Amino acid sequence: MALLTLDEAKAQLNITGTAEDAELQAYVNAVTPVIERFVGPVEPREVTEAHDGGVRPVLVLRQTPVLSLTSVASVLTGGTAPPVEALVLVDPDTGEVRRRDGGYLRGLLQVTYQAGRTEVSPTINLAARILVQHLWRTQRPTRGGGLAGGGDDYSVSEPIPGFGYAIPNRVLELLEPYRLPPGVA
Whether 12 contacts 133, CB under 8 Å: yes
Q: Specify the pLDDT at position 81.
A: 86
- Who contacts 129 (Cβ-Cβ below 8 Å, separation ≥6)? 4, 8, 9, 12
The strand pairing partners of 111, in sequence order, are 49, 72
Q: Specify the pLDDT at position 144.
A: 47
Q: Specify the pLDDT at position 12.
A: 96
Side chain identity, residue 104: Y
CA-angle at 24, arms to 179 and 180, nearest 5° = 5
Q: Along the chain (185 residues), what's the average pLDDT of each consecutive run of 10 residues? A: 92 95 95 92 94 85 94 82 90 91 89 95 96 87 49 51 71 92 61
Q: Torsion over CA of 81, 86, 90 and 93, rounded to 10 degrees?
A: 60
Q: Which of 51, 49, 55, 41 is nearest to 70 (CA)?
A: 49
